[in-house]
Amino acid sequence: MTKTDEQKGRFNAGSDKGLGVSMPEKKPLTPKQEKFCQCIATGMNQTEAYRAVYDVSKQNPNSVNRNAHALNSNTKIVSRIKELAAPAIKEVGITVQEILENIIRIGKKAEDSDRFGEALKAQELMGKHLKMFTDQVLVGGTGVPIEINVRFIRANNI
């Protein structure tokens, strides 16, 4: 006995009427995925959030970074993080556009006043927003990003 298309879950992509087949319901996030989203929404980076939620004692750092990145690339996770962040953004009452305009205004004022450190910081923030710079570096050709902390050391402090 062979299964019918309906039993196999196949249906006409153009219409699901009359086939008795419904689209599968979206699976909810697991409790750990939800906790990961909450950690990200409160300001942790993806690796910190992953470490806070999952047992990483037997994982090497590259695996932790890779798993955190994979989890943070999941569309359900991204949607939930946006959902969690929305009330805070609304409460603050400021848009990304307004923040960018302020950065530009402050940067111009700083440069006009010869406060180049502040002007440079404004440029850095704009560059980060435009994803011109990154705090992740590919090491060893593995294709797996790792997080690094970058510090600038003043020449006279060496």
Q: Give residue-wise pLDDT tens across range 93-124.
A: 777 788 889 899 999 999 999 999 998 998 88
Among residues of the chain, what percentage have pLDDT more than 70?
A: 68
Please tell me which residue, 58 or 93, carries the higher pLDDT value: 58
Please tell me which residue, 91 or 141, carries the higher pLDDT value: 91
Please tell me which residue, 128 or 109, carries the higher pLDDT value: 109
Average pLDDT of 48-55? 95
Contact call for residues 133 and 127 (beta carbons, < 8 A): yes
Tokens of 111: 């440069």
Instruction: Count Cα neighbours of 51 within 13 Å in the Cβ-side half-sphere.
Output: 12
pLDDT at position 18: 46
> Would 35 be classed as within a structural domain?
yes
> Would 83 be classed as within a structural domain?
yes
Angle at 45 between CA 41 and CA 46, to 5 degrees: 95
Instruction: Tell me what the pLDDT averaged over the chain comes to.
Output: 77
> Would 6 be classed as within a structural domain?
no
In 3D space, the residue among 40, 122, 21 whose CA is nearest the CA of residue 80 turns out to be: 40
What domain range includes position 86? 28-92
> Would 1 be classed as within a structural domain?
no
> Would 61 be classed as within a structural domain?
yes
Please tell me which residue, 154 or 99, carries the higher pLDDT value: 99
Q: How many domains does the chain contain in total?
A: 1
Please tell me which residue, 111 or 5, carries the higher pLDDT value: 111
SS3 of residue 101 by DSSP: helix
Average pLDDT of 25-29? 79
Bridge partners (DSSP) of residue 147 are 136
> Would 150 be classed as within a structural domain?
no
> Would 57 be classed as within a structural domain?
yes
